[in-house]
A and B are shown apart, each in its own frame.
Chain A
Amino acid sequence: MHHDNGIWVSTEDLSREESFLQSAEREFSVETIDQTDGKWQTNRRDFLKLMGFGLGAATVAASCEIPVKKAIPYVTKPDEIVPGVANYYASSFVNGGDYCAVLVKTREGRPIKIEGNSLSSVTRGGTSARAQASVLSLYDNRRIQFAGKVKDGQVEKTDWSKLDSEVKEKLAAGGNIRVIANTILSPTAKKALGEFLAKYPTASVVTYDPVSASALVAASEQCFGIAAVPDYRFDAAEVIVSFGADFLGTWISPVEYARAYSANRKVSGRKGSKMSRHYQVETHMSLTGSNADNRVQVRPSEMGAAVVALYNALTGNSGGPKLNDKAAAAIKKIASDLQAARGKSLVVCGSNNIAEQIIVNKINDILGNLNNTVAFGAASNQRQGDDRKMEALIAEMNNGQVATAIVWGANPAYDYPGAAFKAAFAKVANRISLNTTLDETTLLCTHAAPAHHALESWGDAEPKQGHIGIIQPTIAPLFNTRQAEHSLLEWADSASLDRQDDQPYYKYLKAHWTGSLFNEQSKYSTPGAFWDMSLHDGVFEYPAPGKTVSFNGAAAVNTGAVSQPSSSELEVSFYETVNIGNGQYAHNPWLQEMPDPVNRTVWGNYLSIPVEWDGKDIRGWNNLEDGQIVELEANGQKIRCTVVRTFGQTPGTASVALGYGREAGGCATGYGVNVNPLLKNEGGFTQYYLTDARVTPTGDVEKDFACVQHHHTMGVQGKQGDKTVNVDEAVLAFQGSLTERSIIFQTNVKDLDKLEAKMEEFHEHSGHLNSKTLYPTNEEYFGTGLKWGMYVDLNSCIGCGACQVACVSENNVPVVGKNEVKRHHEMTWLRIDRYFYGDIENPKVVYQPMMCQHCDNAPCENVCPVNATNHSMEGLNQMAYNRCIGTRYCANNCPYKVRRFNWLDYTTADVWPANEERIFHGAGDDTPFYADNLVRMVLNPDVTVRTRGVIEKCSFCVQRIQEGKLTAKRESRAIQDNDVRTACQTACPTGAIVFGNLNNPESDVNKAQKNAGALAYQVLEEINVRPGVRYSAKVHNANEELFS
């Protein structure tokens, strides 16, 4: 301390400052907290000040306004509505000739979901993606909301009465009147139309279908004297040959056919199992072709040659147009297969060439299929269009012979082939539209008399003779629209329309039913009971006339009139997609965002080009790559379209879908390209292909090329030098890297025992790997009570996508738009993976619906830092959205990649409206899709709408499980399998998905699994995540000698 020794430690020390001396004194003293001078203690006043400031600051911060949305209760509650309990109404989904018997689920008076109606013998409870999505189009704010004149692309609002008088005046003024419609299935509507035609003798109806089957109907008339589509009985057929008819996806009545077809495709894991054999002769890989056992590739112009080749092979004739050698050899073998199944085979043809259809009828006749698999007892009404009449109409209009045209539900300005319609239509003085949206045709009209959406309408539909479905409204009309039938009756000054009634057309319809239809049956003694039960069931079926037919000898087989093969370098074919049709369904965001089953693309149509294998790499034809924009030149026109490489596309051809490139009427405007103007009419029938096409790369690439699957194959084979290798694995330079994965198992039905042995070994190996556990008590835990599980039969699954749209509808899964899908931000909880396998040039396809597997050892659960995803006592892997902070670790750790993250504010559930995602480009998306209160009416109130930043995924429809449990509880009984049926399960037309309690040995799901034996497996079984979903191996029945 004293620098006696001359040492000092600081200037303070040197100068002996007071403070320094004090601190030096204290250096080794012990201080405690108590001895501090109290500087940090807060006194009472400071405390109050701080608290006051804190409260004030918190108040200011918390007072940011949050919009208040009021829920107003019923003043007088309607009897049939119990808040929180759904009502189901039987009805029918009808759009042109498309039909599906449905139940409409309503909640608090809002239709929110479509289910299949199992009482229908046509669709048997199955649905299609189109039917599932139809509920969304009800809540489309682009519908026309009132009647009026059409001016400058808008409807000028007028009163209905004013419109009526104006229209009546024009109709009465004379001149020819033409009603242009698609197929009309409704008998009552036809009656109403009859009254209209009776009132105006100069009127007639012209019917066409957006995708024509005119030649098929015409051929039936010539061959059998019945102008209808036959009742095809796919369930009675052991050998099926389809010439380009996409009967599982789009052709005539796909839901009905898929159900019937799949009946013969289910195999259990037993040696000697039998299944039907399906040959598909086609150009592009259609949904049906992708399910076929063998595909024979032909160029579209060779279709006639293929039909003739089969005819020749069966009859021993020769001649006819030349078919490529490979196909010709195959067809010979197909012929012998067909002959072996006389009376139990079925040949169908999707072409629109009458000569070809007549030959196909003759083939069915030769094979003894008439009145067996090709019957007319319950002939189908689902395609009534006549291309020739439409051609005649265009000529009439061009000649100024039509004074008034009424467009009823049809959109010929868009979907009628060629470009002639628009110009001809403009020459009609009075153009009246009954359409629901301002589509291309309505925009050309003078008057709009908008009809209701089907879910607001009364009606009926007779898709097949002997089967009539009811259409009943499930919501009061949202807009000031009027039923089309009502409009026609009004204009016809019908005496049978009770204008004073609340629902005049309802009365009209009921009168028809309780009158003439009542007399068709004997089950009900009073018209009232008959009507009530029909309305309740949604369908009325009466014994069909039971007509048998024979082939009319006068219908000559003319092998010269079939399509003639072209030698042009490139042919292009046009097809209808499963989801969009020829644009009838385009303005439905759910359908737009449903990936095409084969191409896996969304929001657009793409030019499918063949894939080639050069011994080293898999390339697109002409080295074109996905997303490149090319110029397609055909029929003297040029269009720009985006390329997608498609396996199975016939070499020398390209294909592009119809139905895109819409110019008006809704959200699809501006997506894809319209190819209808390219189509040609030949001999009175629209042809869906063109020869002499040319494709020129433009050097541009589509920025938003949206395809949900980047890798498409699982072991496609080709030659490398002399040996056959898996070429996709050769590209990855790693043989076995795909085929050794335990994702897909497949075999030919004749080798079923080999696959079974292999899978038994696999199960044993996996069981061994998975036998060790750190948590032995879990087995017991999961073994008691309920344990939900699912079984997916890959052999029944046809990949149609109905389940996917049903899931979107049930679970409020957001639509994200093209750009987001392109960025792989799609939100689908259930996707259908599509893998090609087999011959690279002509591969087979397996579809695998993939959803959350509800693993018992769920890898997602243990990595969530906040326990937002966890396991329920019933084996469900569940998400607590409110707890999720969005680290996405679970999604990374999911081996099945089924977890979906809300990357942006797709549902407009966010606090900040500034972030709401604009989904549609082009079509003036002023209001973000989900911000529209009309669209939000479709939301299922039982399912939370997820906000930005949280993970979501398949919940096994936990809201349905909960409802089923409550039902069972209320009825004081144990829960049964059919108390709970998931949305995907009920939507499936083929019964591929079974759901139930795994702990109940008698449950459907356990029975289905047991039935499949060793063929049932879990995807990635050996990694011990213990999924709750099991799949069955894919079994096909290919004729392996076909191409040898």
Chain B
Amino acid sequence: MSHAVAPVRHILIEGNKSYHNITEDLVSPTEKSPTREWIVAFTLSAAFLALYIFSIVWTVWKGIGEWGANRTINWAYDITNFVWWIGIGHAGTLISAILLLFRQRWRTGVNRAAEAMTIFAVICAGQFPIFHMGRVWLAFFIFPFPNTRGPLWTNFNSPLLWDVFAISTYFSVSLLFWYTGLVPDLATVRDRATGFRRKMYEWASFGWTGSAKHWQRWEALSLVLAGISTPLVLSVHTIVSFDFATSVIPGWHTTIFPPYFVAGAIFSGFAMVQTLMIITRKVLRLEEYITLNHVESMNKVIVLTGTIVGVAYLTELFIAWYSGYIYEQFAFYNRVFGVYWWSYFGMMFCNVVSPQVFWSRKIRRSIWWTFFLSIVINIGMWFERFVIIATTLARDYLPSSWSYYRPTWVEISIFAGTIGLFFVCYLIFTRVAPVVAIAEVKSILKVAGDQYIGKNANKKHH
């Protein structure tokens, strides 16, 4: 990218790389036979995907009654997982769109994988609102299409309908953005490929020639998409939070939800990027492209958003107390000390306490700490959604209807299955496309390559 160069701060490409080295390093994983690790991981993921398919067929065949939800807690695992996955899907667009606009060069190392992760996470998220329907075969009713039923229209007051639009828009824009970025890199792969592979990549790269006009159009499109995506990063989780915020249920009916959800989403998204990138850079030997500087930058975002989320949790408690309203007070009291107290404390520890260690530069730059905490944070964010959904519903207005929820094997299988679905997609992605954006990394080589700046700068370079 030919944007203006900000004063040099970090080495983002190590190892005295030439443009050729970059191409070699990044394209070669798509050209070699899969490694044993990949095969093992893929088999495992595919097994989980099979479990997913089985449990979904089971649900549709037998009915939602195979889940543990009940007359009081009508949503539990399903929507918890939906919000969890949607949250994870927030880092990609944030990195590619907002950081692009903010001219954060470190994004080039991770944006490709993060965007891919976004897309796969949104695919996983989308499964839940679809299959939580009692009559999924009529799911098309949620689209406002001309019909002969009156015509019967959808209910534009319903946050669930807003979800449909928000998520489908987010998915299509993210997909477009991601694929747009991929085109020049796919062309690079094509140029090195032969035979059938070449044909496929030729088709996939839309006849990219690398001409100046192509680059010009490509950059223009990237910028436009970044412009469209930026509000989406904020809007999607805002709208997801409306599912709860616009209801009348104490503990859901809260105006703080939109910012709190968005911060939480970015928080969990970055945690997931960390989890994936730490594995990817190791397995694909991309340590020189996804450097500790990248890891550290992302950890800074994590500690920031984690703290925002923590402030939100405390604000909720304060406002509940301050409201003087018994249902509100009890709802939040119940969150902390009620039947699901363990999930609240799990959430508090994982999301608010644990990321605070990132104030230490040493820990921020520690691969092991980062990996461990990224997992902890993702567990914490799952707890957060569970707390909001199941705990709230379990104790609402009428004590006569209070109930308790336990997931069944079907729900657990579906959740585990979506993880399989996610990794199947991700593993295929690592085999077919460069996991680091080649063109974009090349564009920052001269301002972030270690042969130009930092301690290696006086070396002879290509």
Q: Which of B59-67, B175-183, B367-375 contacts A (4 or more CB under 8 A)?
A: B59-67
Q: Which residues of A contact B337 (CB under 8 A)?
A: 733
Residues of A close to B398: CB separation below 8 A: 743, 833, 850, 895-897, 1019
Bound together, the chains give a CA A824 to CA B394 distance in angstroms of: 12
The listed residue (A27, A709, A886, A1023) touching B134 by CB distance below 8 A is: A886
Min C-beta distance of A689 to chain B, whole Å: 31
Contacts of B330 in A (CB 8 A): 732, 734, 737
B63 touching A27, Cβ below 8 Å: no
How many angstroms between the C-alpha atoms of A466 and B71 in the bound complex? 49
Which residue in chain B gives the minimum CB-CB distance to A862? Answer: B157
Q: Beta-carbon contacts of B389-411 to A below 8 Å, as 1s and 0s?
A: 00001001111111110000000
Q: Are B213 and A28 in contact (CB under 8 A)?
A: yes
Interface string of A837-875 (1 = CB under 8 A from B): 000000000001010000000010011111100000000
Chain B residues with CB under 8 Å of A867's CB are 152-155
| Complex-state Cα separation, A733 to B207, whole angstroms | 69
| Cross-chain contact B399 with A835 (CB below 8 angstroms) | yes
Which of A139-147, A248-256, A338-346, A901-909 lies on the face that meets chain B? A901-909
Instruction: Using C-beta atoms within 8 Å of the partner chain, give the interface range for chain A.
Output: 35 or more
B403 touches A824 (CB 8 A): yes
Q: Are A888 and B75 in contact (CB under 8 A)?
A: yes
Which of chain B's residues has its CB closest to A886's CB?
B134
CB-based contact B327/A888 at 8 Å: no
With A710-B402, A865-B154, A895-B249 as contacts: A903 and B160 at CB distance below 8 Å:
no
Q: Determine if A979 is an interface residue (Cβ-Cβ < 8 Å).
A: no
**Is B318 part of the binding interface, using a Cβ–Cβ cutoff of 8 Å?**
no
Q: Find out whether the CB atom of A10 lies under 8 angstroms from the CB atom of B191.
A: yes
Give chain A interface residues in 889-925, CB to chain B under 8 Å: 889, 891-893, 895-897, 899-905, 912, 914-915
Q: Are B155 and A950 neighbours in the complex by a CB distance under 8 Å?
A: no
- Interface residue B164 (Cβ < 8 Å from any Cβ of A): yes
Nearest-Cβ distance from residue A934 to partner chain B, whole angstroms:
25
Residue of B nearest to A709 (CB): B400
Q: Tell me if B65 and A904 are in contact (CB < 8 A).
A: yes
Task: Judge whether B345 is part of the interface by a CB distance below 8 angstroms.
Answer: no
Total interface residues in chain B, CB < 8 Å? 62
Instruction: Please give, as numbers and ranges, the residues of chain B lying within 8 Å of A951 by CB-CB distance.
Output: 134
- Given known pairs A738-B399, A850-B398, the reply for A885 and B134 (CB within 8 Å) is yes
Instruction: Kindly state whether residue A11 has any CB partner on chain B within 8 Å.
Output: yes
At the interface, yes or no: B326 with Cβ under 8 Å from chain A? Answer: yes
| Closest chain B CB from A950 CB (angstroms) | 6
CB-defined contacts of A1023 to chain B, threshold 8 Å: 248, 397
Choose from A9, A825, A884 the contact partner of B71 (Cβ within 8 Å). Answer: A825
Residue in B closest to A832 when the chains form the complex, CB atoms: B400
Is A703 an interface position by the 8 A CB rule? no
With known contacts A820-B65, A863-B246, A905-B63, A888–B74 Cβ distance under 8 A: yes
**Contact present for A866 and B155 (CB under 8 Å):** yes
A contact residues around B141 at 8 Å (CB): 866, 883, 885
A701 adjacent to chain B (CB < 8 Å): no
C-alpha gap A892/B389 in the complex (Å): 10
Contact yes or no, B70 A865, CB < 8 A: no
Interface centre among B135, B153, B210 (most CB of A within 10 A): B135
A407-451 toward B: CB 8 Å interface, digit per residue (1/0)? 000000000000000000000000000000000000000000000
Q: Which residue of B lies closest to A1024 (CB)?
A: B248
State whether A886 and B249 are in contact (beta carbons under 8 Å apart), knowing that A865-B161, A866-B154 are contacts in the complex: no
Q: Which residues of B contact A738 (CB under 8 A)?
A: 399
Assembly CA distance A891 to B65 (angstroms): 15
Within 8 A of A (CB), among B405-435: none
State whether B400 touches A892 (Cβ < 8 A).
Answer: no
Interface residues of B in 63-87 (CB under 8 A from A): 63-66, 68-72, 74-75
Contact with B along A928-954 (1 / 0, CB 8 A): 000000000000000000011111000
Does chain B have a CB within 8 A of A23? Answer: yes
- Shortest CB-to-CB span from B408 to chain A, Å, is 9
Residues of A with C-beta under 8 A to B314: none
Contact B64 A886 (CB under 8 A): yes
Known: A835-B399, A912-B61. A824 touches B70 (CB 8 A): yes
Q: Are B70 and A825 in contact (CB under 8 A)?
A: yes
For B63, what are the chain A residues with a Cβ–Cβ distance below 8 Å? 902-905, 915, 948-949
Report B146 CB to chain A, min CB distance, Å.
Answer: 15
Q: A833-B398, A850-B400 are in contact. Are A862 and B65 (CB under 8 A)?
A: no
B158 interface residue per 8 A CB criterion = yes
Which 8 A-B residue pairs are closest in the complex by CB-CB distance? A886-B134, A949-B134, A903-B65, A824-B70, A904-B65, A833-B400, A888-B74, A897-B401
A–B Cβ pairs within 8 angstroms, 27 of them: A9-B210, A9-B211, A732-B333, A736-B326, A737-B330, A741-B326, A741-B399, A823-B65, A825-B65, A859-B248, A863-B157, A864-B160, A865-B155, A865-B161, A887-B132, A889-B74, A889-B160, A899-B71, A901-B64, A902-B63, A904-B65, A915-B61, A948-B134, A949-B63, A949-B64, A950-B134, A1023-B248
| Chain B contact residues, CB within 8 Å of chain A | 61-66, 68-72, 74-75, 129, 132-136, 138-139, 141-142, 152-155, 157-161, 164, 191, 207, 209-213, 243, 246-249, 326-327, 329-330, 333-334, 337, 393, 396-404
Q: A714-B399, A887-B133, A903-B69 are in contact. List 16 more A-B contacts (CB 8 A).
A: A11-B191, A27-B212, A710-B403, A835-B400, A862-B246, A865-B161, A865-B164, A885-B141, A888-B64, A888-B69, A889-B160, A893-B247, A902-B63, A905-B63, A949-B133, A951-B134
